[in-house]
Amino acid sequence: MTSDALNWQIEQACFNAWPSPRQVILDGWALRSSGGPTRRTNSANPLHAGAQSSERFIDRVEAFYRRQGRRAMFRIPDMAGGIDAALDVRGYATDARTRTLFGPLDGFANGPDNLAITPDPGETWLAARDRVSGVDAEAVAAYRAIIGVIALPCGFASLSVDGQIASLAFGVLQDDLLVVESVMTDATMRGRGLARQCLSGLFGWARGQGARSAALQVMADNAPAVALYQSLGIARDLYGYHYRIAPAAQSGCDPSA
């Protein structure tokens, strides 16, 4: 498989692992609009290298997001950067550079006794995620809506300390690939290797489901997270992506992480 073919395969799987409850397909792009603060599900995303990049197309995207009450935002993978020049002219800002990491699931086994993995999140997992992330009610509602429309098999992992969930993540299986999402640890319990234990157990579970490799997307400047994933063997840097955000003159709410 060529590198571009693998990159687009991973893009497809990551789309399916983090779906938007609402989207429109337009000229080779998915215009996603979930509400809440999440960039990935409130931006225009190319579906292939030949996706449209004309001035008229950008006008249509901007009109779509104005109707949603948001500034237009494009998520642009490295292998589909042809639209960047046109967005430069329009004054779009560049933000949130992110890396896509990939690696084999070799040598992982079942996690410790205090690790639970379930096919659905359940209210306890969701409540722990809300608590650990510290987000507001709008973001909580948007997150739960996204989780509710995932159509592929999932594993929701939680590692408990003294009866309380301290670290969590979930993974989505597409064929023999695990896409990892929502890795987080309670701020009061960081530095104890809990995320490593949680992910190791999730990887072991995925191997038992037939997965051979894993992929995830992480902010490029999040050095501790990148180091953790690389130490677990998820170390191949496939491609990056960045966002282009319309000037504030466009009406709508400010996007956030």
Residue-wise pLDDT for 79-102, tens only, equals 997 899 999 999 999 999 999 999
Residue-wise pLDDT for 13-50, tens only, equals 999 999 999 999 999 999 999 988 899 999 999 999 99
The answer to whether residue 252 is domain-embedded is no
Residues 90, 195 within the same domain:
no
Q: What Å distances lie between residue 231 and 35, 52, 104, 159, CA to CA? A: 35, 38, 12, 19
Strand order in the sheet with 154-161: 23-26, 29-32, 44-46, 73-77, 236-245, 93-104, 213-219, 177-185, 164-174, 154-161, 115-118
Helix (H, G, I), strand (E, B) or coil at 91: coil
Residue-wise pLDDT for 115-165, tens only, equals 999 999 999 999 999 999 998 999 999 999 999 999 999 999 999 999 999
The answer to whether residue 184 is domain-embedded is yes
If you average pLDDT over residues 238-249, what whole number do you get? 92
Residues 28, 138 within the same domain:
no
Residues 42, 159 within the same domain:
no
Q: Which amino acid is at 159?
A: L
Residues 54, 108 within the same domain:
no
Residues 35, 77 within the same domain:
yes
- Cβ atoms 48, 32 nearer than 8 A: no
Given a cut of 90, whether residue 2 has pLDDT beyond it is no
Residues 118, 233 within the same domain:
yes
Structural domain of residue 113, as residue ranges? Answer: 103-239
Q: For the chain, how many structural domains are there in total?
A: 2
Q: CA 61, 58, 248, 68: dihedral to nearest 10 degrees?
A: -10
- Cβ atoms 4, 49 nearer than 8 A: yes
Question: What's the pLDDT at 251?
Answer: 46
Residues 217, 147 within the same domain:
yes
Residues 31, 14 within the same domain:
yes
Residues 225, 111 within the same domain:
yes
Residues 108, 230 within the same domain:
yes
Question: What's the pLDDT at 98?
Answer: 96
Identify the weakest region by mean pLDDT among 94-98, 184-188, 246-250: 246-250
Nearest to 48 by CA among 24, 71, 23, 82: 82
Question: What's the pLDDT at 1?
Answer: 58
pLDDT above 70: percentage of residues in the chain: 96
Given a cut of 70, whether residue 191 has pLDDT beyond it is yes
Question: What's the pLDDT at 81?
Answer: 76
Residue 121: which CATH number? 3.40.630.30
Residue-wise pLDDT for 57-75, tens only, equals 999 999 999 999 999 999 9
How far apart CA 65 and CA 45 sit, in angstroms, is 13
Given a cut of 50, whether residue 51 has pLDDT beyond it is yes
Residues 69, 157 within the same domain:
no
